[in-house]
Chains A and B, each alone.
Chain A
Amino acid sequence: MELRKNYFADVRKDDLHEIGQPRPRSDSPGHVTGKTAYFADRSFPGMLHLKMVRSPHHHARIRSIDTSEAEKHPGVVRVLTAKDVPHNVYTILILIQIGPEDETVLADGKVRWKGEAVVAVLAETERAAQEAAAKVRIDYEVLPAVFDMEEALKPGAPLVNEYHGQNYYLYDSGECRKVRFGDVEAGFAGADHILEQSYQSSPIEHAPTETTGCVVAPEGNDRFTCYTNTQAMFFTLDNTSIILQMPGSKLHFVGGTVGGGFGGKVDVIVEPIAILGAKLTGRPVCFIYSREEEMQISSPRAAEKVVIKDGVMTDGRIVARKVTGYTDAGAYSRHSPYGAQKGAGHYPGPYTIPNVWIDTYCVYTNRTPSSAMRGFGVTIGDFALEVQMDKLARLIGMDPLEFRFINAYRDGDMKAHRQPTEGAALIECMQEASRVANWPVAEKYMAMSSYAKGA
């Protein structure tokens, strides 16, 4: 590793002792010796295995559920349906007052995506749980489904989620998150060129090597210890407390060791139902996703669509940028209203543009609910923005890196969100990138600084 200390040398005391030094990770000795204890490395005598019966349909009304054969199956201890869950309709961001509650722990009356949990089977062995799950009879009335965000937003589209009443998340700002800065139409009118492009991405699964899951042990005093690989420990504890209507003091969560998460383990999915199972049977319970469930059921990064319209001058200045972003939440909110909002906070990218208009929508479809993943709400936006930047540079015949120098935000610039830029360092990053990548730019750009405007 190499630290370039010439940048900002005047404002930094050169007293770094840890940064730039390789330090052994505290958890590595456990990893290489096989001694690190992941959640699934705990097992308890009498532990039950939980298997989920899932919807084979993208959108359907549940006419009836018959669990009688499954309950009689040898080895089955308990079968759970929606009525067993104390507070079945929930939403995880309710902890920060982002409602409405819109998702069921176990489907009640309707399923909204293929793979949705309907019935939980608890049995002595994994095999018995699988066999019994196959005996649960559910009668569905299949409903029309919608998989495309623009289709979902059209009038007359099938309504995905009744708790919202329309196929988008209703923010306090209306049907989308909005940023308005300057006069974008005037900007376009005065621009030398206009470029409007749309960018699209598919859902992406995190595919951690360790699948999502938890092991729950009743402590015999109405308290439950939950060994979990959640990436969001207290968030999960608090939501579990709401779903099970149980004070948090009854829930002891043990975690922190995660076999790969990448944002895929922040939803509160396995813990509440496993703890409920332990509570109702009085026995330890494990609920571990199969690899197939991890790939198909756990939430992926949202599919996104980003439409960018730019006005650019032949001298390289971007004078207006309008962005419309769509985030496919799938059937339920989870983290997506926040993801779409992050998009609004992130556009127009690290560039100083005088006229900006941003709308970002969180859209419901009958697809697998999406959620967090490494920079969600931002990563796909950055892909779209930077491809757009290259296209703009090509359009006006300018070097793509020089084009970015011209538009880069610098300290003191007013951002579209009406916050002055501070500590930008983008100019310096690009200068270093130019050197390291051996992509020379004109001397005047190498002389620029994030501080002094007009250099």
Chain B
Amino acid sequence: MAKVPVQFTLNGSEKAEFIDSGTTLLNALRDKIGDTSPKGGCHQGTCGACSVIIDGELRLSCLTLAETCDGAAITTTLGLAEGGVMHPLQRAFLDTFATQCGFCTPGMIMAAKVLLDHTPNPSRDEVIEALSGNICRCTGYEPIIQAVLRAARANSQNAA
């Protein structure tokens, strides 16, 4: 099988791997690189559990071929905590009980992070829109929406 080299940064650190051509980024991250925070819930683009941030944009790693990410900067939920301190979004998800089984959570946090990176004080509607590609079967969404709004408030307080 044709092996191809890929290089990118994952959560700030350089990664270089030989992968089978045609491997999805989701499988490359999980099976090759060992970052299992993106989850495979459907491999169809419909659940959002595999969401990662590529060069500042939210992407579905299950529908992205790893070799198309050469040179990219990739962020996953595993990379958010800094020095053992949770990111405000992680804290907020914890505090508002926005996670139950947790399977959707890394994807939700990615979608929320991209939103807050561009829109630090989003409206409720903007939060709903930003999370619209992510399915949660457990929480009923309201606690997740609340978590994102709470994280936004925490951010703006920090900035103030």
Question: A residues near B, CB below 8 A?
Answer: 22, 24-25, 27-38, 40-41, 43, 125, 127, 206-211, 258-262, 290-291
CB of A33 within 8 A of CB of B39, answer no
Query: B81: CB under 8 A from chain A?
Result: yes
CB of B39 within 8 A of CB of A260, answer no
Question: B residues near A, CB below 8 A?
Answer: 1, 20, 22, 30-31, 35-37, 39-44, 46-47, 49, 76-78, 80-81, 86, 90-91, 93-94, 97, 99-106, 109, 135-138
Listed from nearest, the 3 A-B pairs whose CB atoms lie closest are A34-B37, A31-B102, A259-B103
From known contacts A43-B30, A210-B39, infer whether A260 and B103 are also in contact, taking CB-CB under 8 Å: yes
The CA-CA distance from A370 to B74 in the complex, in Å, is: 42
User: Which residues of chain A come closer than 8 Å to B109, judged between CB atoms?
Assistant: 32, 34
- Number of residue pairs A-B, CB distance < 8 angstroms: 105
User: Which residues of chain B come closer than 8 Å to A127, judged between CB atoms?
Assistant: 22
Further 8 A-B residue pairs, CB within 8 A, beyond A206-B137, A209-B49, A291-B47? A25-B97, A28-B94, A41-B36, A210-B49, A211-B42, A259-B101, A259-B102, A261-B101
The CA-CA distance from A127 to B22 in the complex, in Å, is: 10
User: Secondary structure of the A side of the interface?
Assistant: loop
CB of A33 within 8 A of CB of B138, answer no
The CA-CA distance from A29 to B80 in the complex, in Å, is: 13
CB of B41 within 8 A of CB of A210, answer yes
Shortest beta-carbon distance, B21 to chain A, in Å? 11
The CA-CA distance from A24 to B94 in the complex, in Å, is: 8
CB of A210 within 8 A of CB of B103, answer yes
Which one of A41, A261, A262 has the greatest number of beta carbons of chain B within 10 Å?
Answer: A41
Which listed residue, B37, B78, B137, touches A209 by the CB 8 Å rule? Answer: B137
From known contacts A37-B36, A290-B43, A291-B41, infer whether A209 and B101 are also in contact, taking CB-CB under 8 Å: yes
Shortest beta-carbon distance, B77 to chain A, in Å? 4
CB of B41 within 8 A of CB of A262, answer no
User: Which residues of chain B come closer than 8 Å to A35, judged between CB atoms?
Assistant: 37, 78
CB of A34 within 8 A of CB of B41, answer no
The CA-CA distance from A261 to B137 in the complex, in Å, is: 9
The CA-CA distance from A362 to B39 in the complex, in Å, is: 38
- The closest CB in chain A to the CB of B35 belongs to A34
User: Which residues of chain A come closer than 8 Å to B42, judged between CB atoms?
Assistant: 211, 291
